[in-house]
Copies of this chain bind each other. A is one copy, B any other.
Amino acid sequence: MNPVSRSGGRASHALRPVRITRQFTMHAEGAVLIEFGNTRVLCTASVEEKVPPHQRGSGKGWVTAEYGMLPRATHKRSDREAAKGKQSGRTQEIQRLIGRSLRAVFDLEALGERSIVLDCDVLQADGGTRTAAITGAWVAAQDAVASLVARGLLARSPIRDAVAAVSVGVVDGVPLLDLDYPEDAACDTDMNVVMTGAGHFVEVQGTAEGAAFSRAEMNALLDLAQQGIAELVLLQRESLLKK
């Protein structure tokens, strides 16, 4: 494996600069702007005192997510999904992933019969929007839960652990952590990994974009992801200490 030249001289195992800004907007119970380099996603967590039909009367709550991209978050303007009248397959796939990832660390019984809706809207895209969304949504969910505890609606937090996500991929034969858009477009293999604070896997989604990948490559990618997510969890926890 040769050294590759990454933007900003970044090492192959280095995350882009990550910034987490809480209370980015004023109305939501949790409102986090998360930046992975030039990727910027606004993640809001909204508490709703109702649950979808499949949970009604169960005593359990629900956690769900929606994902969107502003039309000019991307290099070339993309059509507005509201104007087209439907969400793309990609959008639905991503929002289902975010929802499952967050539910993996929630004790829905402890949440009680209410919902937390995570809206992840990409203001600026440069690769890794879904992983930034998961990582930011967890921080927003923490703030939303804290507001429920502060208002006496919950005795304790129903969040059992942290959850964060990162992309990894093989570019020109070299495994890289946290791909930006040019790397993502050039990679042979692209994997999104979601893990808990305890270091267990919640989701692993690997796709061979060009050539199929070997078990050895897979292992190298999982190693990178594990280390990157551990760093992200530290950054999440650090952001929650402020204020």
Contact = CB atoms under 8 A, between A and B. Distances in A.
A48 interface: yes
A25 B205 contact: no
B196 A203 contact: no
A104 B215 contact: no
A156 interface: no
Interface in A79-137: 80-83, 85-87, 89-93, 95-96, 100, 104, 117, 119, 121, 123-125
User: How many copies of the shown chain assemble into the complex?
Assistant: 6
Interface of A: 25-28, 31, 38, 40, 42, 44, 46, 48, 66, 68, 70-75, 77, 80-83, 85-87, 89-93, 95-96, 100, 104, 117, 119, 121, 123-125, 191, 195-196, 198, 200-208, 211-215, 218, 222, 226
Interface of A is mostly: mixed
Given A200-B214, A218-B201, A121 B70 contact: yes
A124 B26 contact: yes
